[in-house]
Amino acid sequence: METLLLSAQNQETAALAAELIKKGELVALPTETVYGLGADGLNPDAVAKIFKAKGRPQDNPLILHIADAADMEKYCHSIPDAAYALAEKFWPGPLTMVLPAKDIVPKCTTAGLSTVAIRCPDCEITREIIRLAGVPIAAPSANISGKPSTTTAQHVLHDHEGKIPMIVDGGPCRVGVESTIIDLSDERPRLLRPGGITPHQLVEVVGDLILDKAVTESVAKDAVVKAPGMKYKHYAPACEVIVVTGSKEAAAKYIVEHYQPGNRVLCFEEELETFAAFSPLAYGKESDEDSLMAGLFAALRELDDAKIGTVFARRPIGSGKALAVQNRLMKAAGFRTVDAEPKGLVLGITGGTGCGKTTLLKAFEEMGGWVEDCDQVYHQLLKTGTTLLDAIEARFPGCVDGFKLDRRKLAGIVFNDPKALADLNAITHGAVKKEVLRRLEHIPGGYPIAIDAIELFDGGLAELCDVTVAITAPEEDRVKRLIARDSISEQQALERIYAQKPESYFREKCDYVLENNGTPEEFREKCLAFFRNLLIIKEKP
């Protein structure tokens, strides 16, 4: 079969492509994310051709592409308000929503699921083709399954020349990684795949979001997962990829020790000089996450050569667009990472309310330290995951209302019931510790870290620390500070202080005690001097 490669600029292209789609043939289409391999999403025979051409596992469902947001109602039912709000804000654009499917959507498109993934792409010609064909187009990324995705028409030609009738060339893809997938078919919105629309942008619209485990962790082949595609090997070039984290200097040192002739380095433009001796290939600028997304797959394709042996790859840090880049790169690497830099010193910081912990932590950050606030971790766990809420609900039925903790009810139960309180603490402490551990693994090497926790010892967090530090202050100063900070009465301030562990407890437990008994400026100086002695502080990279 001859493969037609037609420009999107060409007048006849859209009509020709639509004709082929109507006839049940395959057409590779540009979108703003990646090139897709499209077919009539309502025609099981046409959809079967996609799976065959890609060598895609049958249980990996396809995304249905529509030309207008309103068409969502033709293929989905029980559509929540959140879906309309997201469509309004992000469509056409790089966001896919998983919603309950109507019967009109064939089982081969949804891989037998009761839900369907749906998206309105931001690409004029592709929407035009969908309109002309009069059917939604099912399209996965156009690459051969398991290989890096296709972000140019030439990539598609490389994978499918002679095997599909037509490719529409719309130039390189603007976003460059596949769409963000959000599942709205369950009680709480869940991020299944990170992409160009960030978790933060989603939360602004839907108010709540669970990050599916598969976003950051490797998934076993036999696992039951929300997006079946997440368990398969993905994006991988023919050689081994190892992600090397840490500063570029530390990474260079690691690479010198492990580099074999022929190996390559996949890095940021800013690092080309550092890695000059190791045949570096830059996929974008570290300072420009859009460029990293846009360049990643083309770079992985360039490195798709078994003779290279090993690619040492660098990944960005962050929870926005960087998350999408990390996700693809980690999958390409089969989650093989090495931290080239040993972890910095981990400090446990504790002490009663009003002692001046904030001043100390600010000084710590000023010196290049990284702070993990356990109170914040706890609140985020309640907000962005179900595990903690599920565990609380299992032990204290009725205390979780929808996705919210009924604090008053829970307090009523554990008040005056030491056994119940101990159970609650075991649940929350366990969850916070696990999450802090996970975060520590993601902090780049070399940073000194402070774990800020009032329950440093009871919560088991002290075990993660090299050094523990207590902050103390004279009671009258604490009272004054609490009155000013929280606008409470002296009586209330005292009650708060007495509700906590006494100063003697912290003094006894901690390796160091820092006394905040002067002016704030004096305390800050004291903290800075203390850290200087304790740490070899590094500049933030």
116 binds, among ligand AMP, Mg ion, none (CB under 5 to 8 A by kind): ligand AMP
Q: Which residue is nearest to Mg ion (CB)?
A: 141
Query: Pick from 43, 141, 150, 310: which binds Mg ion (CB under 5 A)?
Result: 141
- In the complex, least distance from residue 183 CB atom to ligand AMP, rounded to whole angstroms: 6
- In the complex, least distance from residue 181 CB atom to ligand AMP, rounded to whole angstroms: 5
Closer residue to ligand AMP (CB): 194 or 348: 194
- In the complex, least distance from residue 38 CB atom to ligand AMP, rounded to whole angstroms: 10
Q: Are strands 36-40 and 115-119 parallel, antiparallel or unpaired?
A: unpaired
Task: Say which residues have a Cβ less than 8 Å from residue 99's Cβ, sequence separation at least 6.
Answer: 72, 76, 77, 78, 79, 83, 115, 116, 118, 184, 185
Q: Exposed, middle or buried by CB within 10 Å (0-12, 13-18, 19+), for 35?
A: buried
- In the complex, least distance from residue 141 CB atom to ligand AMP, rounded to whole angstroms: 4
Closer residue to ligand AMP (CB): 119 or 264: 119
Closest CA to 229 of 63, 113, 59: 59
- Maximum CA extent, the chain: 86
Distance between CA atoms of 220 and 188, rounded to whole angstroms?
A: 24
Closer residue to ligand AMP (CB): 50 or 340: 50
- In the complex, least distance from residue 137 CB atom to ligand AMP, rounded to whole angstroms: 12
CB atoms under 10 Å from CB of 188, counted, come to 16
Closer residue to Mg ion (CB): 115 or 141: 141
Q: Which residue is nearest to ligand AMP (CB)?
A: 229
Stretch that binds Mg ion, among 16-24, 82-90, 141-149, 368-376 (CB under 5 A): 141-149
- In the complex, least distance from residue 185 CB atom to ligand AMP, rounded to whole angstroms: 8
Closest CA to 153 of 137, 173, 134, 136: 173
DSSP per-residue string spanning 287-301: T-HHHHHHHHHHHHH
- Judged by CB under 5 A, how many residues of this single chain contact Mg ion? 1
Binding site for ligand AMP (CB under 6 A): 60-63, 98, 110, 113, 115-117, 140-141, 178, 181, 192-193, 226-230
Backbone angles phi, psi at 263, to 5 degrees: -65, 160
Closer residue to Mg ion (CB): 141 or 516: 141
129 binds, among ligand AMP, Mg ion, none (CB under 5 to 8 A by kind): none
Closer residue to ligand AMP (CB): 61 or 284: 61
Task: Say which residues have a Cβ less than 8 Å from residue 361's Cβ, sequence separation at least 6.
Answer: 349, 371, 373, 450, 452
Closer residue to Mg ion (CB): 33 or 274: 33
Q: Decide: helix, strand or coil at residue 80.
A: coil
Contact 49, 126 (CB under 8 A): no
Distance between CA atoms of 345 and 347, rounded to whole angstroms?
A: 6
Contact 378, 455 (CB under 8 A): no
- In the complex, least distance from residue 231 CB atom to Mg ion, rounded to whole angstroms: 13
* Pattern 95-134, Mg ion, x by CB under 5 A: ----------------------------------------
- In the complex, least distance from residue 178 CB atom to ligand AMP, rounded to whole angstroms: 4
The token pair that represents 111 in the structure block: 């891989």
Closer residue to ligand AMP (CB): 35 or 457: 35
Q: Vertex 156, ends 333 and 168: CA angle to 5°?
A: 140
Query: Residue numbers of the site for Mg ion (CB under 5 A)?
Result: 141
